[in-house]
Amino acid sequence: DIQMTQSPSSLSASVGDRVTISCRASQSISSWLAWYQQKPGKAPKVLIYKASDLESGVSSRFSGSGSGTEFTLTISSLQPDDFATYYCLQYNNRWTFGQGTKVEVK
Amino acid sequence: QVQLQESGPGLVKPSQTLSLTCAVSGASISSPNYYWIWVRQHPGRGLDWVGFIYYSGSAYYSPSLKSRAAISVDTSRNQFSLKLSYVTVADTAVYYCVTGEMGNYGGHWGPGTLVTVSS
């Protein structure tokens, strides 16, 4: 099974900050990685797929990078609507989610 | 626009079978372009993949469920289902049905349904 290690588990940031979240796969997953945003009581929403492709309708302040085993989600300038929990998902071999990163107000 | 909606009992007794259905609109459950996925989220915790099924009928499950899960499709009703047997309180979670392009990420999610396991 492929394990996904996501870090940090939480972070505090202010509006306008640049935020980065990392995911590491236990083996190469090529670029088969997606990033999701989840708000309380809601289903997750996809932001990025294939490691760096922006889902239609998602703000360009979200970007993804990486391949193989190391991946990063970057929010270039944090907005009030971005305080949420973020998950990575590998879909190279079955599915595995990262543990999640909660982005909180500083 | 693909839309999904979960339904099923909100309360299940320990050792019984949890049964959930996901009604699909905007896509055919028989289409080779999609696959059909279940994800769950324990209260206050992260997302866990339960399993998925391809249009061919091949299904794959999380090893952590130890063969208790079964996913099936009903082409006549354009829906797919999850059965989880011998449930315990540890199976209490919000269950989401998800779909995506074949072998790809899940772009469409249902709103989720909370299932509580309790006597």
- Collect all residues with Cβ–Cβ distance below 8 Å to B98 and sequence separation of at least 6: B4, B36, B37, B38, B39, B106, B108, B109, B110
A96 at interface of B, judged by CB pairs closer than 8 A: yes
- Separation between Cα atoms, residue B101 and residue A95, nearest integer Å: 14
In this complex, the residue of B46, B63, B96 whose CB is nearest that of residue A87 is B46
Q: How large a percentage of chain B has pLDDT more than 70?
A: 100
* Cα–Cα distances in angstroms (integers) from residue B84 to residues A24, B26, B64, in the given order: 30, 27, 12
- Kindly tell me if the per-residue pLDDT of B102 is higher than 90: no
- Separation between Cα atoms, residue A86 and residue A7, nearest integer Å: 10
For the record, the structure tokens of A64 come out as: 């993804």
A55 at interface of B, judged by CB pairs closer than 8 A: yes
In this complex, the residue of A1, A89, A98 whose CB is nearest that of residue B63 is A1
In this complex, the residue of A34, A98, A100 whose CB is nearest that of residue B105 is A34
- Kindly tell me if the per-residue pLDDT of B52 is higher than 90: yes
Do A59 and A81 form a contact (C-beta atoms < 8 A)?
no
Mutate to test the interface with B, among A58, A91, A96 (most CBs of B within 10 A): A91
| A18 beta partners | none
- Collect all residues with Cβ–Cβ distance below 8 Å to A36 and sequence separation of at least 6: A44, A45, A46, A47, A86, A87, A88, A89, B47
pLDDT in tens, A59-99: 999 999 999 999 999 999 999 999 999 999 999 999 999 99
Interface touch B109/A1, C-beta < 8 Å? no
Please give the DSSP secondary-structure letter assigned to residue B65.
G
B104 → chain A, closest CA residue: A91
- pLDDT at site B55: 85
